[in-house]
A and B are shown apart, each in its own frame.
Chain A
Amino acid sequence: GENVEQHPSTLSVQEGDSAVIKCTYSDSASNYFPWYKQELGKRPQLIIDIRSNVGEKKDQRIAVTLNKTAKHFSLHITETQPEDSAVYFCAASSGMEYGNKLVFGAGTILRVKS
């Protein structure tokens, strides 16, 4: 089955700097890659996603890139702000054949220092 690895496990950046979180996946059939932000005591919230027919997607300060050949995808946050501090999870889904289930990475604790 699918296996998703995520790095780093913790990331500290200065306010205004950029943050990059990387994930690799094992199943070449995976075709959907979302990123979730989870604040303490709250549910995971989808912040951006990308499908396998696209190499990059951007939404304001957040962008995701996908390299299908290397089977990795990355989350980029620019101009970080203290409210970006949270746990971020990447995930991969292999589509209908596998019940559309998401397999999650281990998570990255992002701390933005002001």
Chain B
Amino acid sequence: SAVISQKPSRDICQRGTSLTIQCQVDSQVTMMFWYRQQPGQSLTLIATANQGSEATYESGFVIDKFPISRPNLTFSTLTVSNMSPEDSSIYLCSVEDPTGYGYTFGSGTRLTVV
């Protein structure tokens, strides 16, 4: 199955600042997905990132707050902008495995905003 390297694994940030999370996949994939998992909750899709086009955002998420880059078929970044304590969460990237083995997740980024 695809292997995803996600970093940073965790960070503590000051409110009002921004954090960029990176995901690198060991194979080429058409779409990459970014999820948020708040403490004790399920996974909520933030956006879908296609290479060469703008990301598609889910209801409740906007590009100004969560800008995404997708410069090639193996890499994507998610930025959490102008952070507030409510942004404290785990952020995960995911890809549909090109071998057909379902969807694989990165190890997640645990973000704490103080």
Contact = CB atoms under 8 A, between A and B. Distances in A.
Interface of A: 34, 42-46, 49, 89, 99-107
Contact of A102 (B41, B56, B101, B103): B103
Contacts, number: 41
A104 B43 contact: yes
Given A99-B56, A100-B96, A105 B42 contact: yes
22 contacts: A34-B102, A34-B103, A43-B92, A43-B106, A43-B107, A44-B92, A45-B105, A46-B102, A46-B103, A49-B102, A99-B56, A100-B31, A100-B96, A101-B33, A101-B45, A102-B33, A102-B45, A102-B103, A104-B43, A105-B42, A106-B41, A107-B42
B interface bracket (residues with beta carbon within 8 Å of A): 20 to 34
Given A46-B104, A105-B42, 7 more contacts: A34-B102, A43-B108, A89-B43, A100-B96, A102-B45, A102-B103, A107-B42
Given A43-B105, A44-B105, A99 B31 contact: yes
Interface in B42-76: 42-45, 48, 56
Contacts of B107: 42-43
Nearest to B103: A102
Interface of B: 31, 33, 41-45, 48, 56, 92, 94, 96, 101-108
Nearest to B104: A46
Contacts of A99: 31, 48, 56
Given A103-B45, A106-B42, A46 B33 contact: no
Contacts of B31: 99-100
Given A34-B103, A101-B33, A102-B103, A44 B45 contact: no
Contacts of B48: 99, 101
A103 B101 CA distance: 17
